[in-house]
Amino acid sequence: MKTLNLIFASAILTVSVISCKKETKSEEKTKSDSLVSKKEVEQEFHKDWYGIYTGDFNSKPIATEYGNQIEEYKKISVKINRITKDSVYGYSVVNGNQRPFRGILNENTLDFVLDEPGSDKSDGRFQLKIKQDSLVGDWSAYNKSDVKSPEKTVKLIRKEFAYNPNFMLSKKSYEESDYENPVDWNGGKVKTESYVTDEGKTETYENTFYRSASDKVFVINASKQKLAEKDLKNLRKLDLQIIRNTVFARHGYSFKKATYRQFFENTDWYVPVSNNVDADLSPLEKENVALLARLEKYAEDHYDTFGR
C-alpha cells in the first residue's frame, strides 16, 4: 500500500513539474511577443526631423482702417524629440513657459497635429507642415478667452543649439541701428515737463524716459572671466542685468521678462530651449551671476529720452 502511495505521489509531482515548465515557457513566449510588439510600436521614423525649430509666434493679422495689424509679436521654439508610427513627442517653449506636446504625423501630407496637455491656460494645438528645414502653420488656444491672442501663426526655422561662452551682444548691430547701446523699451517712465513760450506762457508736456545700457555690455563676459566688485561697481543697473542674463542666454534660457527677450532675440546665436538652465552653469558662471545679482540691488539706472 505504501508503495502505491509513493508511486501515486511521484506521478502527481512529475505532472506538476511538467505543467510548471509548460506554463513557464508559455509565459516567456507571451513576454517575448509583448516585447516584440512594443518594439514594433515604438519604432522611430524621420529621425532627421528631430531637433529645434525656432522663430515667429505672432497673432494673426487683424484688418483695420490703416491696414492689417499684428497685436502681439513673440518668439517660440518647438523641439521634436521623437516620432513613432502612432505619435510625435516634444515640447514648446515661449516666454519662459515650457509645455510638452504629443501628436500625430500625417505621412501623406507631412502635416503635424500637436496637442499641449491643456492643464495651463496658455495651452493649445499646433497644426504645422514641415517644409525642408522649416515648420509653418498655426496655433489655436483651447481656452480662447484666457489668452490675449488665441490664434497665432507659426513660422519656424530649424536651428542647432550649442553653448558657446564667447557669444555676446554685438556692438556692430547697435551701431547700424538708431541707438548705439541697448535700450529697455519696456521700462519707460513718463515725466511731465514744462517750457515757457515766446509769449511768456508756461506749457506742459509729457516726455518718456527709457533705461539705457553702456558699451560695457559688449565687453564684459561673465562666462569667461572671473569678475570682481571693482570691475562692476560703477556700472549701470541695466549693464549688470544684461551681463548676468547673457550667461543664461548662452545656455538657451527662455526669458519670461520682455526686457531681456528684446536684447537676445535680435541676435543670430540665441536659441531658447529651456525654462531652467541653472544646472548647466559652470562654477565660474555661478560665482559671477551671484556677484552681479548682489550688485544689482544697489546700482542705479541711467534714463534718457529717445525718439521712436
What CATH number did the domain enclosing 71 receive? 2.40.160.90
Answer yes or no: is pLDDT of 253 > 80. Answer: yes
Please report whether residue 166 resides in a domain.
Answer: no
Please tell me the distance from the alpha carbon of residue 15 to that of residue 34, in angstroms, as a whole number.
28
- Looking at the fold, whether 128 and 103 belong to one and the same domain comes out as yes
Dihedral sign for Cα atoms in the order 73, 260, 183, 207? positive
At which of 102, 129, 158 does a domain end?
158
- Return the amino acid letter for 182: P
Binned at pLDDT 50, 70 and 90, residue 305 comes out as: confident
Question: What are 191's strand-pairing partners?
Answer: 207
Locate all alpha helices (DSSP H) within the chain, ordered by sequence.
Answer: 2-41, 171-175, 229-232, 237-250, 258-264, 283-296
- Return the amino acid letter for 228: A
In terms of Cα–Cα distance, which of 81, 57, 86 is closest to 71? Answer: 57
So what's the pLDDT on residue 146?
A: 86
Q: Are the C-beta atoms of residues 102 and 89 closer than 8 Å to each other?
A: yes
- Looking at the fold, whether 223 and 298 belong to one and the same domain comes out as yes
- Looking at the fold, whether 197 and 296 belong to one and the same domain comes out as yes
Lowest mean pLDDT segment, chosen from 67-81, 228-242, 275-289: 67-81
Look at 2 and 132; give whichever has higher pLDDT: 132
Q: Are the C-beta atoms of residues 246 and 267 closer than 8 Å to each other?
A: no
In terms of Cα–Cα distance, which of 65, 75, 127 is closest to 96? Answer: 75
Please report whether residue 8 resides in a domain.
Answer: no
- Looking at the fold, whether 206 and 135 belong to one and the same domain comes out as no
- Looking at the fold, whether 211 and 256 belong to one and the same domain comes out as yes
Q: Are the C-beta atoms of residues 149 and 61 closer than 8 Å to each other?
A: no
- Return the amino acid letter for 89: Y
Q: Are the C-beta atoms of residues 126 and 103 closer than 8 Å to each other?
A: yes
pLDDT in tens, 152-168: 999 999 999 999 999 99
Please report whether residue 221 resides in a domain.
Answer: yes
Answer yes or no: is pLDDT of 104 > 80. Answer: yes
**For the residues 67-96, what does the mean pLDDT come to?**
90
- Looking at the fold, whether 123 and 219 belong to one and the same domain comes out as no
- Looking at the fold, whether 152 and 176 belong to one and the same domain comes out as no
Look at 223 and 305; give whichever has higher pLDDT: 223
Answer yes or no: is pLDDT of 207 > 60. Answer: yes
Give Rg (Cα) of the chain. 30
Number of structural domains in the chain:
2
Q: Are the C-beta atoms of residues 95 and 77 closer than 8 Å to each other?
A: no
Answer yes or no: is pLDDT of 109 > 80. Answer: yes
- For residue 66, the enclosing domain spans 47-158
- Looking at the fold, whether 124 and 235 belong to one and the same domain comes out as no
Please report whether residue 2 resides in a domain.
Answer: no
Please tell me the distance from the alpha carbon of residue 235 to that of residue 231, in angstroms, as a whole number.
8
Please report whether residue 13 resides in a domain.
Answer: no
Q: Are the C-beta atoms of residues 123 and 142 closer than 8 Å to each other?
A: yes
pLDDT in tens, 119-130: 999 999 999 999
- Looking at the fold, whether 119 and 209 belong to one and the same domain comes out as no
List the grid coordinates of 45: 521614423
